[in-house]
């Protein structure tokens, strides 16, 4: 059996990342003609065109899309093995970590996380990025370093995940709301006007399923795509917001919060990152900071008991979806 030319892995990774012979050539400091010859060798070796003409550019074939992340991970692993051993000097570290998360997470855990990072590595900045959806592309292409959220079937299988804390849904209304003056029964809860949170355009979730089981249906008057918006509306109206308790602790300041009058499942908030970051010492330190800050702050919060035995999730695990 002929030994494969492992140097072609670097070429393949550059071509699949750039989808351009010219850009891949610049990335590897080769001439365009040399890169074209390498592409021809790859096509012959793999029995697939890999990149095909589409207008003025090139697009990857299904086979290329299938192996792109695997190739990237292999190249990253090789670079890690061949890289000299190093010791992380936090005092000299200069880097910006991009963290895609919800406004609630940033407001609740951001202050302590920023203080922790600044105390240990003054040259490190934290860039919070809004999370409009669960698309894993930013983690794959490296524009985002870390993400927080609920791991579910939509999560890209190659991503690494680690649970941070458990959370559960509660209700929140403005001070002086009619619900503040009475027992919050399922009937009283369902009869009020509700603001519903869904980034996917849904109009029902786990709360509605629980109400339906006892013959009730709540009145959803408006749908928004974030918990911060839902709480802002509830703070200035008679709307009832259903939000995760720990995730929105800071956002609910000054509001009246109450346990759900119907049973709803707990959710697990995890952090997610791409395998290429596994061996990076600075990224490991950053992940440890996030985990430690969440653990410490959750331990100090005064809340009703929540199961805090957190399992370590792998990339193939499925978690309860947060429909709210």
CATH class of 90-167+267-300: alpha beta
pTM listed for this prediction: 0.65
Instruction: CATH 3.40.190.10 in the chain: give the residue spans.
Output: 90-167+267-300, 169-259
Q: What are φ and ψ of residue 125, in 5° steps?
A: -115, 150
211-233 pLDDT per residue, tens? 999 999 999 999 998 888 999 99
Burial class of residue 299 in the structure, from the number of CB atoms within 10 Å of its CB (0-12 exposed, 13-18 middle, 19+ buried): exposed
Instruction: CATH 1.10.10.10 in the chain: give the residue spans.
Output: 7-82
126-145 pLDDT per residue, tens? 999 988 777 788 888 888 99
CATH class of 169-259: alpha beta
For residues 38 and 14, the answer to whether their CB atoms sit within 8 Å is no
Q: Which among 184, 161, 160, 175 is positioned nearest to 260, based on CA atoms?
A: 184
48-107 pLDDT per residue, tens? 999 998 888 899 999 999 998 888 888 877 877 776 656 889 999 999 999 999 888 888
- State which fold the 7-82 domain adopts: Arc Repressor Mutant, subunit A (1.10.10)
Q: Give exposure, 17-43, as e/b (b: 16+ Cβ within 10 Å).
A: bbbbbeebbebbebeeeebeebbeebe
């Amino acid at each position: 059996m002929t030994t494969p030319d492992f140097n072609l892995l670097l070429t393949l990774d550059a071509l699949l990342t750039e989808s351009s012979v010219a850009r891949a050539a610049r990335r590897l400091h080769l001439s365009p003609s040399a890169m074209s010859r390498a592409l021809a060798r790859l096509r012959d070796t793999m029995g697939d065109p890999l990149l095909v003409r589409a207008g003025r550019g090139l697009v990857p074939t299904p086979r290329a899309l299938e192996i792109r992340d695997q190739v990237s991970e292999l190249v990253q692993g090789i670079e890690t093995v061949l890289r000299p051993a190093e010791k992380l000097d936090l005092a000299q570290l200069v880097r910006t970590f991009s963290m895609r998360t919800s406004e609630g997470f940033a407001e609740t855990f951001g202050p302590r996380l920023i203080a922790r990072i600044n105390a240990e590595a003054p040259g490190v900045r934290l860039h919070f990025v809004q999370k409009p959806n669960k698309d894993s592309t930013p983690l794959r292409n490296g524009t985002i370093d870390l993400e927080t959220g609920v791991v579910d079937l939509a999560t890209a299988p190659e991503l690494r995940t680690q649970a941070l804390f458990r959370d559960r849904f509660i209700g929140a209304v403005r001070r002086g709301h009619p619900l503040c003056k009475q027992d919050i029964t399922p009937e009283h809860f369902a009869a009020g006007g509700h603001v519903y949170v869904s980034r996917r355009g849904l109009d029902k979730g786990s709360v509605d399923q629980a109400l339906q089981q006892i013959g009730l249906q709540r009145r959803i008057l408006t749908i928004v795509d974030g918990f911060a918006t839902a709480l802002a509306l509830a703070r200035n109206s008679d709307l009832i917001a259903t939000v995760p308790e720990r995730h929105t602790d800071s956002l609910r300041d000054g509001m009246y919060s109450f346990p759900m009058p119907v049973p709803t499942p707990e959710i697990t908030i995890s952090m997610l990152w791409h395998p290429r970051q596994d061996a990076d010492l600075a990224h490991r330190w950053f992940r440890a900071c996030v985990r430690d800050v969440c653990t410490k702050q959750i331990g100090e919060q005064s809340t009703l008991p929540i199961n805090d035995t957190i399992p370590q999730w792998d990339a193939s695990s499925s978690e309860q979806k947060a429909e709210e």
